[in-house]
Amino acid sequence: VEPLVFRTAVDLRRHLDTVRQSGMRIGLVPTMGALHRGHARLIQQAREDCDAVALSIFVNPLQFGPNEDYTRYPRTLAGDIALSADNGVDIVFAPEKQQMFGQRHLTFVEVNELQDRLCGPFRPGHFRGVATVVLKLFNIVEPQRAYFGEKDYQQLCIIRRMVADLDLRLEIVPVATVREPDGLAVSSRNAYLSPEERGAAPTLFHALETARSLIEAGETRPAPILKAADDILEKQPILRKEYIEIVDPADLRPVDVVDCTVRIAAAAWLGKTRLIDNVEAALGD
Protein backbone atom coordinates (compact mmCIF):
# COMPACT_ATOMS: atom_id res chain seq x y z
CA VAL A 1 0.00 0.00 0.00
CA GLU A 2 1.29 3.48 -0.90
CA PRO A 3 1.88 5.75 2.10
CA LEU A 4 -0.01 9.04 2.39
CA VAL A 5 2.43 11.84 1.53
CA PHE A 6 2.14 15.23 3.26
CA ARG A 7 4.07 18.36 2.28
CA THR A 8 2.87 20.70 5.04
CA ALA A 9 2.75 20.46 8.83
CA VAL A 10 -0.85 21.72 8.86
CA ASP A 11 -2.10 18.90 6.60
CA LEU A 12 -0.05 16.28 8.41
CA ARG A 13 -1.33 17.37 11.84
CA ARG A 14 -4.93 17.33 10.66
CA HIS A 15 -4.49 13.73 9.55
CA LEU A 16 -2.55 12.66 12.66
CA ASP A 17 -5.26 14.08 14.93
CA THR A 18 -7.71 11.57 13.47
CA VAL A 19 -5.12 8.77 13.75
CA ARG A 20 -4.61 9.61 17.43
CA GLN A 21 -8.36 9.84 18.07
CA SER A 22 -8.68 6.20 17.06
CA GLY A 23 -6.20 5.35 19.82
CA MET A 24 -3.31 4.40 17.54
CA ARG A 25 0.26 4.62 18.78
CA ILE A 26 2.40 6.59 16.33
CA GLY A 27 6.05 5.75 15.62
CA LEU A 28 8.28 8.33 13.91
CA VAL A 29 11.33 7.53 11.77
CA PRO A 30 13.11 10.85 11.09
CA THR A 31 15.32 10.74 7.97
CA MET A 32 16.97 12.93 5.37
CA GLY A 33 15.83 10.56 2.62
CA ALA A 34 18.19 8.61 0.35
CA LEU A 35 16.70 5.64 2.17
CA HIS A 36 18.69 2.41 2.45
CA ARG A 37 18.67 -0.88 4.38
CA GLY A 38 19.57 0.93 7.59
CA HIS A 39 16.42 3.02 7.36
CA ALA A 40 14.46 -0.11 6.45
CA ARG A 41 15.52 -1.61 9.80
CA LEU A 42 14.30 1.51 11.64
CA ILE A 43 10.97 1.26 9.80
CA GLN A 44 10.62 -2.47 10.55
CA GLN A 45 11.24 -1.84 14.26
CA ALA A 46 8.64 0.95 14.26
CA ARG A 47 6.22 -1.32 12.39
CA GLU A 48 6.63 -3.99 15.11
CA ASP A 49 6.12 -1.55 18.00
CA CYS A 50 3.50 0.89 16.74
CA ASP A 51 0.07 1.05 15.07
CA ALA A 52 0.94 3.81 12.61
CA VAL A 53 4.40 4.52 11.19
CA ALA A 54 5.32 8.03 10.05
CA LEU A 55 8.56 8.69 8.20
CA SER A 56 9.91 12.19 7.70
CA ILE A 57 12.15 13.11 4.78
CA PHE A 58 13.86 16.47 5.14
CA VAL A 59 17.41 17.41 4.20
CA ASN A 60 17.90 19.78 7.10
CA PRO A 61 19.97 22.82 6.10
CA LEU A 62 20.65 23.68 9.76
CA GLN A 63 22.84 20.63 10.32
CA PHE A 64 25.20 21.20 7.38
CA GLY A 65 28.24 23.45 7.71
CA PRO A 66 29.03 26.05 5.00
CA ASN A 67 31.57 23.72 3.33
CA GLU A 68 29.57 20.51 3.75
CA ASP A 69 27.48 18.49 1.30
CA TYR A 70 24.01 20.12 1.70
CA THR A 71 23.55 20.88 -2.00
CA ARG A 72 24.91 17.55 -3.25
CA TYR A 73 23.21 15.41 -0.58
CA PRO A 74 21.26 12.72 -2.52
CA ARG A 75 17.57 13.57 -3.02
CA THR A 76 15.62 10.50 -4.19
CA LEU A 77 11.99 11.12 -3.18
CA ALA A 78 10.34 8.67 -5.61
CA GLY A 79 12.66 5.82 -4.56
CA ASP A 80 12.20 6.77 -0.89
CA ILE A 81 8.42 6.56 -1.20
CA ALA A 82 8.78 3.15 -2.89
CA LEU A 83 11.04 1.84 -0.09
CA SER A 84 8.60 3.28 2.45
CA ALA A 85 5.71 1.47 0.76
CA ASP A 86 7.64 -1.82 0.68
CA ASN A 87 8.32 -1.60 4.41
CA GLY A 88 4.83 -0.63 5.51
CA VAL A 89 5.19 3.09 6.21
CA ASP A 90 1.72 4.66 6.58
CA ILE A 91 2.63 8.33 6.39
CA VAL A 92 5.48 10.21 4.70
CA PHE A 93 6.12 13.81 5.76
CA ALA A 94 8.30 15.53 3.15
CA PRO A 95 8.16 19.26 3.83
CA GLU A 96 9.80 21.94 1.68
CA LYS A 97 12.56 24.02 3.30
CA GLN A 98 10.12 26.96 3.45
CA GLN A 99 7.74 24.83 5.52
CA MET A 100 10.30 24.03 8.20
CA PHE A 101 12.47 27.15 8.33
CA GLY A 102 10.49 29.64 6.23
CA GLN A 103 9.79 32.42 8.68
CA ARG A 104 12.70 34.06 10.46
CA HIS A 105 13.88 31.21 12.65
CA LEU A 106 15.40 32.40 15.93
CA THR A 107 15.04 29.44 18.27
CA PHE A 108 17.61 26.66 18.61
CA VAL A 109 18.20 23.68 20.86
CA GLU A 110 21.68 23.10 22.21
CA VAL A 111 22.63 20.03 24.18
CA ASN A 112 25.76 21.30 25.89
CA GLU A 113 28.80 19.12 26.53
CA LEU A 114 27.48 16.18 24.49
CA GLN A 115 27.44 18.34 21.34
CA ASP A 116 31.10 19.29 21.88
CA ARG A 117 32.49 15.74 22.00
CA LEU A 118 33.56 13.31 19.19
CA CYS A 119 32.29 14.87 15.90
CA GLY A 120 31.45 18.19 17.62
CA PRO A 121 34.75 20.06 17.08
CA PHE A 122 34.85 18.99 13.41
CA ARG A 123 31.24 19.95 12.63
CA PRO A 124 30.50 23.19 14.52
CA GLY A 125 26.75 23.78 14.82
CA HIS A 126 25.86 20.34 13.45
CA PHE A 127 24.21 18.89 16.56
CA ARG A 128 22.42 22.17 17.31
CA GLY A 129 20.90 21.83 13.84
CA VAL A 130 19.98 18.19 14.45
CA ALA A 131 18.44 18.79 17.90
CA THR A 132 16.46 21.79 16.62
CA VAL A 133 14.93 20.00 13.63
CA VAL A 134 14.26 16.82 15.62
CA LEU A 135 12.39 18.78 18.31
CA LYS A 136 10.33 20.43 15.55
CA LEU A 137 9.54 17.02 14.06
CA PHE A 138 8.58 15.67 17.49
CA ASN A 139 6.25 18.64 18.01
CA ILE A 140 4.66 18.30 14.58
CA VAL A 141 4.15 14.52 14.69
CA GLU A 142 3.79 13.98 18.48
CA PRO A 143 4.87 10.33 18.23
CA GLN A 144 4.85 7.88 21.15
CA ARG A 145 8.16 6.51 19.92
CA ALA A 146 10.95 7.69 17.61
CA TYR A 147 13.63 5.52 16.02
CA PHE A 148 17.32 6.40 15.62
CA GLY A 149 20.20 4.31 14.29
CA GLU A 150 23.20 3.54 16.50
CA LYS A 151 25.46 4.40 13.57
CA ASP A 152 24.98 8.04 14.56
CA TYR A 153 25.73 7.25 18.19
CA GLN A 154 26.44 10.81 19.30
CA GLN A 155 23.20 11.99 17.68
CA LEU A 156 21.31 9.25 19.54
CA CYS A 157 22.85 10.34 22.89
CA ILE A 158 22.05 13.98 22.22
CA ILE A 159 18.42 13.28 21.29
CA ARG A 160 17.97 11.14 24.40
CA ARG A 161 19.42 13.90 26.57
CA MET A 162 17.13 16.48 24.94
CA VAL A 163 14.10 14.28 25.58
CA ALA A 164 15.05 13.82 29.24
CA ASP A 165 16.05 17.44 29.85
CA LEU A 166 12.97 18.97 28.19
CA ASP A 167 10.48 16.40 29.55
CA LEU A 168 9.36 15.35 26.10
CA ARG A 169 6.70 12.68 26.21
CA LEU A 170 8.07 10.01 23.91
CA GLU A 171 10.40 7.07 23.96
CA ILE A 172 13.62 7.03 21.91
CA VAL A 173 14.30 3.60 20.44
CA PRO A 174 17.88 2.82 19.32
CA VAL A 175 18.34 0.44 16.38
CA ALA A 176 21.54 -1.51 15.68
CA THR A 177 23.77 -0.48 12.77
CA VAL A 178 23.20 -2.35 9.50
CA ARG A 179 26.42 -3.32 7.69
CA GLU A 180 27.49 -4.41 4.24
CA PRO A 181 28.91 -7.97 4.07
CA ASP A 182 32.45 -6.50 4.35
CA GLY A 183 31.58 -4.59 7.53
CA LEU A 184 31.05 -1.08 6.14
CA ALA A 185 28.18 0.61 7.97
CA VAL A 186 25.31 1.32 5.56
CA SER A 187 25.01 5.09 5.01
CA SER A 188 23.55 7.44 2.41
CA ARG A 189 27.01 8.95 2.02
CA ASN A 190 28.47 5.61 0.81
CA ALA A 191 26.96 6.52 -2.57
CA TYR A 192 29.66 9.22 -2.93
CA LEU A 193 32.53 6.71 -2.78
CA SER A 194 34.55 5.89 -5.90
CA PRO A 195 35.26 2.17 -6.42
CA GLU A 196 38.74 2.66 -4.93
CA GLU A 197 37.35 4.53 -1.91
CA ARG A 198 34.61 1.94 -1.46
CA GLY A 199 37.32 -0.74 -1.36
CA ALA A 200 39.14 1.12 1.42
CA ALA A 201 36.04 2.08 3.41
CA PRO A 202 35.64 -1.12 5.54
CA THR A 203 39.03 -0.37 7.14
CA LEU A 204 37.24 2.04 9.48
CA PHE A 205 35.14 -0.82 10.88
CA HIS A 206 38.17 -3.15 10.98
CA ALA A 207 40.05 -0.63 13.12
CA LEU A 208 37.09 -0.44 15.52
CA GLU A 209 36.87 -4.25 15.61
CA THR A 210 40.56 -4.51 16.41
CA ALA A 211 40.09 -2.12 19.32
CA ARG A 212 37.05 -4.04 20.49
CA SER A 213 38.85 -7.39 20.43
CA LEU A 214 41.74 -6.01 22.50
CA ILE A 215 39.25 -4.82 25.12
CA GLU A 216 37.47 -8.17 25.07
CA ALA A 217 40.87 -9.83 25.56
CA GLY A 218 41.31 -7.78 28.74
CA GLU A 219 43.32 -4.72 27.66
CA THR A 220 42.21 -1.76 29.79
CA ARG A 221 44.65 0.98 28.72
CA PRO A 222 43.30 3.22 25.94
CA ALA A 223 46.78 4.07 24.54
CA PRO A 224 47.75 0.61 23.22
CA ILE A 225 44.19 -0.04 22.03
CA LEU A 226 44.12 3.19 20.02
CA LYS A 227 47.65 2.54 18.73
CA ALA A 228 46.55 -0.83 17.32
CA ALA A 229 43.51 0.79 15.68
CA ASP A 230 45.68 3.59 14.23
CA ASP A 231 48.06 1.02 12.77
CA ILE A 232 45.15 -0.51 10.85
CA LEU A 233 43.95 2.89 9.59
CA GLU A 234 47.45 3.92 8.52
CA LYS A 235 47.79 0.85 6.31
CA GLN A 236 45.12 2.39 4.09
CA PRO A 237 46.89 5.36 2.47
CA ILE A 238 43.78 6.97 0.94
CA LEU A 239 41.92 6.99 4.26
CA ARG A 240 42.48 10.04 6.48
CA LYS A 241 41.58 9.60 10.13
CA GLU A 242 39.73 12.46 11.78
CA TYR A 243 39.49 10.87 15.22
CA ILE A 244 39.15 7.59 17.05
CA GLU A 245 38.16 7.64 20.72
CA ILE A 246 37.16 5.26 23.48
CA VAL A 247 34.38 6.97 25.39
CA ASP A 248 31.93 6.52 28.21
CA PRO A 249 28.68 5.49 26.47
CA ALA A 250 26.59 7.98 28.48
CA ASP A 251 28.61 11.22 28.61
CA LEU A 252 30.90 10.54 25.59
CA ARG A 253 34.00 11.57 27.57
CA PRO A 254 37.21 9.70 26.72
CA VAL A 255 37.87 7.07 29.38
CA ASP A 256 41.21 6.90 31.26
CA VAL A 257 40.82 3.20 31.77
CA VAL A 258 38.39 0.69 30.28
CA ASP A 259 36.59 -0.63 33.37
CA CYS A 260 33.04 -1.01 32.08
CA THR A 261 31.21 -1.07 28.76
CA VAL A 262 32.58 1.62 26.45
CA ARG A 263 31.85 2.98 22.99
CA ILE A 264 34.63 3.19 20.43
CA ALA A 265 33.84 5.85 17.84
CA ALA A 266 35.73 7.03 14.77
CA ALA A 267 35.49 9.36 11.79
CA ALA A 268 37.60 9.32 8.64
CA TRP A 269 37.72 10.89 5.20
CA LEU A 270 37.92 9.12 1.87
CA GLY A 271 38.38 11.82 -0.74
CA LYS A 272 35.54 14.30 -0.15
CA THR A 273 33.42 11.81 1.80
CA ARG A 274 33.35 11.75 5.58
CA LEU A 275 32.46 8.41 7.18
CA ILE A 276 31.66 7.71 10.82
CA ASP A 277 31.21 4.45 12.68
CA ASN A 278 31.21 3.09 16.23
CA VAL A 279 31.01 -0.15 18.18
CA GLU A 280 30.28 -1.14 21.75
CA ALA A 281 32.99 -2.97 23.67
CA ALA A 282 32.85 -4.69 27.03
CA LEU A 283 35.85 -5.81 29.04
CA GLY A 284 36.35 -9.55 28.96
CA ASP A 285 37.46 -11.45 32.08
Catalytic positions, please? 39
Q: Is 157 in the site for ligand PAF (CB under 6 A)?
A: no
Per CB under 6 A, does 38 bind ligand PAF?
no
Candidates 58, 64, 8, 7; CA nearest to 34 is: 58
Between strands 26-31 and 52-57, the pairing is: parallel
Question: Which residues in the 173-202 window bind ligand PAF by CB under 6 A?
Answer: none
Residue 140: its H or E element = helix 126-141
Say if residues 235 and 204 touch (Cβ distance below 8 Å): no
How far apart are CB 151 and ligand PAF at their closest, in Å?
A: 8
Using CB under 6 A, which of 80, 90, 150, 152 touches ligand PAF? Answer: 152
Number of amino acids touching ligand PAF (CB under 6 A): 10
60 binds ligand PAF (CB under 6 A): yes
Start-to-end Cα distance in the chain: 51
Instruction: Write each residue from 115 to 134 as x if it is in contact with ligand PAF (CB under 6 A), else as -, in one continuous string.
Output: ---------------x--xx
Stretch that binds ligand PAF, among 27-35, 106-114, 208-216, 277-285 (CB under 6 A): 27-35
Least distance (Å) between residue 183 CB and ligand PAF: 21
- State which of residues 9, 16, 32, 233 lies at the interface with ligand PAF (CB under 6 A): 32
Looking at 5-13, 17-25, 28-36, 212-220, which segment touches ligand PAF (CB under 6 A)?
A: 28-36
Give the long-range contacts of residues 39-43, CB within 8 A, separation 24 or more.
39/83, 39/149, 40/83, 40/86, 40/87, 40/178, 41/149, 41/175, 41/176, 41/178, 42/147, 42/148, 42/149, 42/175, 43/84, 43/87, 43/88, 43/89, 43/147
* Choice between 27 and 222, CB closer to ligand PAF: 27
The reply to whether 30 sits near ligand PAF by the rule CB under 6 A is: yes
Interaction site with ligand PAF (CB under 6 A) = 30-32, 60, 63, 130, 133-134, 152, 155
